[in-house]
Amino acid sequence: MNSRIKDIPLRFNEKAVLRLLGRRRPDHHADISPRLRRQLDKGWEDIQHTARPEALYAAYPAQGRERGVLVNGECPFHSRSLSRIFHNCEQAVVFVTTLGGDVDDLILNRLKSRPSYASILDAAASAAVESAADHVEKHIRERLGQGWDTTRRYSPGHCDWPVRDQKRLFSLLPHHHLRIRLTEGSHMSPRKSLSGIIGVFPEDHMPWNGNACLFCQNIDCPHRRN
């Protein structure tokens, strides 16, 4: 199973945008001034208009090992959390999704003329690329059909998975059509891109419900998932 997804629908997650903007109470609509409301609406409109969201993914046999995950018999990903989650899995799907380079240019341009609006655009784009990754997860689950369970998605640089493994992940993607390049520090350009791995298990055989947060000791982690 490997493929390219084009024309990914983006979902506006206002709560996520407000959280990224540093709001402590993103649920409180009364805290949103009319000016901020206008900027949020305009920001989302600009991101939707500029983004060209697409994704690539590929599936491989995979196995959790003591200190990481073996994908296609080689190329280990170094993470103890992933090794527990991927223990006894059948496959792993590696993926990357991006909003495209025009979104970076838009944010950069506004940074010079309207820095506060640029931070709203930046937060809206970050939430948008998460929604693109949600779509990729959903697409993969639908393609697998009944009889299979999938883990949460995990990305290099998060939890205890070093960002340097990004290079290994990219080497597993089928063809690099999406014009995403890795910097020396293994960060992606365009910036509003997201890569990761999803484990695939026979139904009812998935440890920890596929969620490393259920055993993680990092109690202050802001990214904890239920």
- Residue 218 binds ligand SF4 (CB under 6 A): yes
Cβ-count burial 94-115 (b if 16+ within 10 Å, e if not): bbbbbbbbebbebbeebeeeee
Q: For 32, what's the count of Cα atoms within 13 Å in the CB-facing half-sphere? A: 17
Centre a 10 Å sphere on the Cβ of residue 23 and count the other Cβ atoms it contains: 16
- Residue 36 binds ligand SF4 (CB under 6 A): no
Closer Cβ to ligand SF4, 12 or 154, answer by number: 154
CB of 138 vs ligand SF4, minimal distance in Å:
20
| Strand residues in the chain grouped as ranges (E) | 2-5, 54-65, 68-71, 74-78, 91-98, 148-154, 181-182, 188-189, 193-202
DSSP assigned state of 10: P
Which pair of tokens denotes residue 116?
């506060």
CB of 63 vs ligand SF4, minimal distance in Å:
20
CB of 82 vs ligand SF4, minimal distance in Å:
10
CB of 154 vs ligand SF4, minimal distance in Å:
8
Select from 21, 36, 111, 216 the one that contacts ligand SF4 (CB under 6 A). 216
Within positions 80 to 119, which residues make up the interface with ligand SF4, using CB under 6 A? 81
Select from 55, 62, 93, 159 the one that contacts ligand SF4 (CB under 6 A). 159
The residues binding ligand SF4 (CB under 6 A) are: 81, 158-159, 212-213, 216, 218, 221, 223-224
